[in-house]
Structure formats: structure tokens, C-alpha cells
Structure 1
Amino acid sequence: MPLRNVTLLGATGSVGRSVRDVVAENPDRLSIATVVGGRDAQALAQVAIEVGASFAALAEEDAGPLLREALAGTGIASGAGRDAVLEAVARPADIVVSAISGSAGLEATFAALAPGRVIALANKESLVCAGEAVMARVAEVGAQLLPLDSEHNALFQVLGAEPLAAVRSMTLTASGGPFRSWSAERIAAAGPEQALKHPNYAMGAKISVDSASMMNKGLELIEARFLFGLEAGQLDVLVHPQQLVHGLVTFRDGSVSAGMAVPDMRVAAAHCLGVDGRLDAPAARFLDLAAAGTLTFEKPDLVRFPALGLAMAALREGGAMPAILNAANEVAVAAFLAGRLRFPGIAALVEAVCAATPGGCDAPRDVGTALAIDQDSRRRAASLLSQASFTVT
């Protein structure tokens, strides 16, 4: 089999680490030539050297000199800023892993779409903010979009060659996060330290907080709507603390198929990277159902976790509302992590921004429009955040 060339966007994050592990396990089939990070020059330089990359780029332009210094003498070219990221995306690659966190990954993901390329998508915000535009571009250029989120990857594998008409509904599972069994009062008093303690995965700060509020699962519902072309009423969530079942597909004839695996992002990464055939995994990555024992499922509590309900409402409304919801949430989570907002304030701020936005806005048809909606919504959120009702005292 030919050696597949990989471009890794979000190389220093948790998904990036999983992808690097899978590539290291399959050196005869995969190679990482280009890496992109956010602002940590030392971390990206270390990754670039470790994987033998030929080019490294940082999104933060001011960190460019630090990256050049860290890579001095290695022969690895580097750049920083928007143009450098787009240069990285334009370099030859068979597979582009899009794992830049948040709406910051939208432009790079869209630019990565090219004929014959495989895009392994872990940046759900690309579809949340501009799902119609992204999927239209995928079809136009003939790229292949593979979901790298564990839930969507499970659904994708379960669906297989079945036609969409055979599907009655799809269900994404959620761990319930660190606050699954907490009372509303205890959740209200939680700080960043508690919110960052995900029960099953080691993830970045933003996605960990989204898991704690269950906003992450709401964003994943919106992502699934575009990935699979379903209606809002065909998508649902079940809380499954063991996180061994990642997704369920219910077919028209009443049969239900489950996508199962250990809670390890390297499983989904291996599927996406194994474009020429499945890759071998270490024994520790295989599911032992007898050892797992009981599997439990429960409906999500939208009273204790209102963020999920807000995302479901945005999914039903459609148009620009998912992009507005996502932007407001990114501002709210950043404020919570900075100590400027209490945990219940995350959902409250998102709700206020969505309520203050005129309804009926069309879904963005291109990246520029999506980014404009994102920036306008961030300004609204920042303005509301400064009001006394959202101030932490």
C-alpha cells in the first residue's frame, strides 16, 4: 500500500496526540509532513521534530519568531499567521486532519477541501457554523469527509452502505460529563477545576467545559444533521456513562445497530486514517464486554443542563442560529474559565445572545458570511457579558 501523506491541523491538542499515536504505530502506511498549531511555539516545534514534518505553522502571528528559533537547525520550514496556516493547508496531502478547536478551524477546513483528498473532521464547529457551505463544497470538489468525533465516526461506520432512506433515526451518546449525578445547586457552585474533570477522556479546556454543560453534545447533534443529511426530529441524545456505545442507528424496519468501542479517540482516528484498509491496533484498544459488565442509558436532564436544550432549539430553528449559538458559547466558556462567569452563566449568556438576535437569518452560504455572523455574535455576547446580571461578585 502507498505511504499516505498527512497534514495535521491542531497538532498539539488532544486529538492531535491521538492522530500522532496512530501514525507512529503505522510508519509503513502513514507519514505527517505538515503540522499546524495555535500559539504554543515550543509545543509545535517539539511535535514537528518528533514526527519529522517538513513544515510547521502557528495561527498566532506574533509567535512566529519563537517558532523559527525553536526549529533553528532542524531544516523544518515554518510560518505564522493566517497566510501561513493556509499555506500549510495548500501543501500536498492525501489526508488532512482538521482538529483546530472552535470556529478558528472553519477557514482552514474549508480551504483543505480539494479533489481526491480525505478530510478527517474533528472540528465540529465547521459544520455548526457553515454546514451547508461545507457540505456543498465537499460535493462540488469531490473530497471525502470522514468524521473523527467518536460518536459521528461510530454512526458513520454503522450506517455503512445503507441508503439514508433506510434510516429512521440516529442517537448520539453522552457520558453526562463530570456533573451527571450532581444536583442543580452543586452544579451552580462548580468552578473550572471541577468542570475540567471529564470522567472518560483527557481533552482540552474548552471541550471539557462543553462536555460538563452538555453543550458539546448539542453541537454534535447539529454536526450530525449536516454530516448525515437528517432532519432535527431524527436526531436524539442518550446519556451513557460507560461510553462504550458511541452511537445508535435505528432503521425503518425497527432494527437498531450500535457503534461500540473503548473510549479512546485513537479508535476513530485509526478508522479515518486507514483509507486503504483498516489499521491494526494494540490489544489495549479492543473492547471486552464481559469485563465492562453493565451498560446503562438515561435521558438527558434539560433542566440541570439547559445548554443542551438551547442547542436542540438552534438545530430546530436552523438558518444562522447554530453559528450564533456557537459563537456565544465560545465567549461564555472563555469567560467562565477566566473567572468572569459562573457555570450557570454559560447557558444564560448563550440564551441571551440567541434571544437578542433577529430570527429568520439565512444559513451562511460561504465562509466569509459565516465568519461575519460569528464575529457579530461575539460582539453581542461581549456586550451582554459586561452587564451587571452576568458579573461575578
Structure 2
Amino acid sequence: MSKVITLLGSTGSIGTQSLDVIRAQGYQVFGLAAHSNVTLLLRQIIEFTPKAVAVVDPHAAEQLKAQLSTMPNPPVLLTGKEGLVELAAMPGADIVLNAVVGIAGLAPTLAAIESGKDLALANKESLVTGGQLVIDAVKKKGVHLLPVDSEHSAIFQCLQDAASAKSLTKILLTASGGPFFGKKKEELQQITAVDALRHPTWNMGGKITIDSATLMNKGLELIEAVWLFGLPADKVQVVVQRQSVIHSMVQYSDNSVIAQLGVPDMRIPIQYALTWPERVPGPAPELDFTTLGTLTFDVADEDTFLCLAAAKRAITKGGLCPTAVNGANEQAVELFLQDKIRFLEIGEFVARAAEEFSAGNGAYTLEELYACDAAARAMVRRLANA
């Protein structure tokens, strides 16, 4: 069945792979959004002829406006963060795929849901920072929230048997371990951004690659899993699976375990979110078990990689504590990529946020959420003297 897609974050790693799936399935594109990569966005506009586009960066938006002025029947151009939110809510699409990076994805997530659209979610920070707001909105509007992260897609796929899903007792959330798996703190003292950007398996954007190196990405995914699947944090176990072939597993009350396997190709979970509940042929290659060799499992080192333990503490505390942890991490990663702090300080600052920020009474507004995010970022800048 043909679908019409609005894709937010179209020029990033997830966005370009999403367009591979859209191209392969012959889907239509209603809207595209990018932060500032006008060159790639313009190529996407020419190929997919969207009705509307959004560019967050004002200077980049002016560049694109000049380019579009020479085109016949150009798309509507929306600008800034407000334009991103407006595009997410615009009628015309069946589903919005949100691949924006960071807390910037929360507002368009809520806008898409409030407009009554199904949401394919690759922006994990939407649930990390505003999980209660997002889940409440999904229930109110009766829309589908479809996970795009490979791990959450794997869990979602394992739970498609509704009868068995009722007896879910544990989630086994897999992790690659990142580029520094097995190393201790003393070995990580001199790590640079160039070192941390070399991921062993996945080709991703800068922020998520650093998050993988610190294991913060797994911490964010643990928080996301709590919101998506309704289990407490102590029932979500992180398991290092270096080959990135087992994407996650679920355990049932009889202690049987169901796993989802596939090649490490993000187009598989992207496609499942867009075609659900159907499975159809797609652009990703098949998994060849005859060449696979060994599958290994290990424990994540929370003593060295403080971000994972901090994320667990944050979601256990609840309220706005996950928002604070996420804000601290986003600010710390930005400073690390600018060579203003050391690699290990990312985990130290995130752990500090988990310790110092309270859960409050559990309930919060969007305004309180953004104030907490700002306070966490300010704390990191103060600690870093930046």
C-alpha cells in the first residue's frame, strides 16, 4: 500500500537511509526537513518533489530560498524551529518519521502526534526528556508510536504476538560496546574526538557516535525502552553483543527468550516502522549464517562508562531527572567535540546531573522540561568553565 511520508532530519544518517527505503517502496514524500545541509536537501527536493520543506538554520534557509526561486513549482519553505514543528503537524502525510538529533526533536514529535499522525520515532530524546508527555499524547490521540532504533524495533518485533507479550518479564537490550569496549579509565585519559568518532559497526552522525563511545546512547535507549514497553529499569538488562547481529531480545515468564537478528543495517528497522504491520522486501541484504562465525556476549562496564549508570539512576528517580541527564550530555558532547573538555568528563558531568537534579513530584509541563534542560546545560558549562 502506498504511503505518504514526512521525514524530519532527512540529510542525516537515518534520514538518508530512510529515503533509501522510501525509494525502494515507491512511497511519496510530503515533507522534508534539515538543519543546514542545503546542498543535500536540494538534491532530495529534486528527486522526491515534496510539497513542503523546513530548514532550521536561518542562513541555510536563505540559501535554499534563493535556489528554490529558480525552480518551477517549488515546495513551501518553512524556517527555524517553528518551521520544523509546523511541518510535522501539516496535513498531507500518513506518517511522520522523526530523525532529528537531540531534544530539538521533542516539539515536532508532540506536534505530529497532536495532529493525529502515526509517528516513526528515531529521535530517542523525545521519550528520554518528555516520555510522560509523549505517551499521554499517544494515548489521547490513539495514534501508533513505531520505534526506529534497531534495538527498540527488535523488541517491538519480538512482541508482535499479543498473547505472549502479556507475559513479558525482561528486556535484553544489546549494545555494540562502542570503540573503547574493554578499556579502563586510565586508558581513556587522552582520547580525542577523532578517536571517539570511529565506531566499530555503525556509520552514524557525530553526536550519536560519541554517545555510543561513552555508552550514553545505551543509557538513553534504556530510558526509551522503559517508556515504550512499560517495564521498570531493573527489568531492562544491557548486554554487549559486539557483532551487532542480535539487535535485542525479550524474556517471557517461562524464561524463554526471543531474539531478533539481522545484518547491522538501519534500513531494516526503518522499513519495518514504515511498513508495519506488513513485512515486504527491501534494500537491506540478508544475514548469511554460514559466514557469521561466533556471536559473543559480555557485560557493560558501568564503572568506566559512567553515563549508563547515570541514565539508570535518572529513570529510576523519574520526573525531570532524565531530562537533566540528557541536557547535561548534549552540552558535554558539544564541548568535547570542540576540544574544551576531556572524554571522561562527559560521564562525570552526566553522573553529576543524575545526582543533583531531583525528580520533583513526577508530573511536569513542557515549560518546566525546557527549564530543566537549560539548567543542566548551564551546570555543565559552569563545571567546564566554558
Under a length normalisation based on structure 1, what TM-score does the superposition of the two structures give? Answer: 0.93
What's the counterpart of residue 53 of structure 1?
50
What's the counterpart of residue 14 of structure 2?
15
What's the counterpart of residue 64 of structure 2?
67
Question: CA deviation digits over 1:13-62, x for unaligned, max 9?
Answer: 110011000011111xx111200111222332222222221211112234
Letter in 2 for 1:130: G
Alpha-carbon shift at residue 115 of structure 1 (Å):
6.3
What's the counterpart of residue 86 of structure 2?
87
- Structure 1 alignment gaps of length 5 or more: 388-393
Q: Retained in 1: the 8 A contact 2:306–2:351? A: no
Q: Retained in 2: the 8 A contact 1:41–1:70? A: no
Letter in 2 for 1:18: Q
Residues 254 and 353 of structure 1, relative CA distance in 2, 3 Å threshold = closer
SS at match of 1:180: coil
Q: How does 1:10-49 map to 2 (within 5 A)?
A: 10-27=9-26, 30-49=27-46
Letter in 2 for 1:85: L
Q: How does 1:243-262 map to 2 (within 5 A)?
A: 243-262=244-263
Count of equivalent residues: 382
Letter in 1 for 2:44: V
Letter in 2 for 1:247: S
Q: Retained in 2: the 8 A contact 1:98–1:123? A: yes
SS at match of 1:188: coil
What's the counterpart of residue 78 of structure 1?
77
What's the counterpart of residue 338 of structure 2?
338
Alpha-carbon shift at residue 308 of structure 1 (Å):
1.0
Once residues 94 and 41 of structure 2 are traced to their aligned partners in structure 1, the CA distance between those partners, rounded to angstroms, is: 21
Letter in 2 for 1:98: N
| 2:207 aligned with 1:206 | yes
Question: CA deviation digits over 1:310-344, x for unaligned, max 9?
Answer: 11111221121111000000000000000001100
Q: How does 1:173-252 map to 2 (within 5 A)?
A: 173-252=174-253
Q: Retained in 2: the 8 A contact 1:333–1:346? A: yes
Q: Identity of aligned pairs, percent?
A: 37
Question: CA deviation digits over 1:98-135, x for unaligned, max 9?
Answer: 11000010001110004652210000000000101100
Q: Retained in 1: the 8 A contact 2:320–2:364? A: no
Alpha-carbon shift at residue 370 of structure 1 (Å):
1.8
Letter in 2 for 1:332: A
| 2:290 aligned with 1:293 | no
Question: CA deviation digits over 1:39-91, x for unaligned, max 9?
Answer: 22233222222222121111223432112013232222212113321221122
Residues 115 and 336 of structure 1, relative CA distance in 2, 3 Å threshold = closer
Q: Retained in 2: the 8 A contact 1:102–1:123? A: yes
Letter in 1 for 2:39: Q
Once residues 256 and 123 of structure 1 are traced to their aligned partners in structure 2, the CA distance between those partners, rounded to angstroms, is: 27
What's the counterpart of residue 119 of structure 2?
119
Question: What do you get for the CA RMSD once the two structures are aligned?
Answer: 1.6
SS at match of 2:255: coil
Residues 253 and 210 of structure 1, relative CA distance in 2, 3 Å threshold = same
| 2:168 aligned with 1:171 | no
What's the counterpart of residue 3 of structure 2?
4
SS at match of 2:260: strand
Once residues 201 and 42 of structure 2 are traced to their aligned partners in structure 1, the CA distance between those partners, rounded to angstroms, is: 29
What's the counterpart of residue 380 of structure 1?
379
Question: CA deviation digits over 1:164-197, x for unaligned, max 9?
Answer: 5401100110000111133432222110111011
Alpha-carbon shift at residue 348 of structure 1 (Å):
1.1
Q: Which moved more, 1:92-101 or 1:267-276?
A: 267-276
Alpha-carbon shift at residue 228 of structure 1 (Å):
0.5
Q: Retained in 2: the 8 A contact 1:173–1:240? A: yes
Residues 52 and 261 of structure 1, relative CA distance in 2, 3 Å threshold = same
Residues 46 and 364 of structure 1, relative CA distance in 2, 3 Å threshold = farther
Once residues 259 and 247 of structure 1 are traced to their aligned partners in structure 2, the CA distance between those partners, rounded to angstroms, is: 6
Q: How does 1:275-354 map to 2 (within 5 A)?
A: 275=276, 277-282=278-283, 285-354=285-354
Letter in 2 for 1:14: S
SS at match of 1:120: strand
Q: Retained in 2: the 8 A contact 1:176–1:212? A: yes
Letter in 2 for 1:65: E
Alpha-carbon shift at residue 354 of structure 1 (Å):
3.3
Under a length normalisation based on structure 2, what TM-score does the superposition of the two structures give? Answer: 0.95
Question: CA deviation digits over 1:350-376, x for unaligned, max 9?
Answer: 22233333x242445443332222122
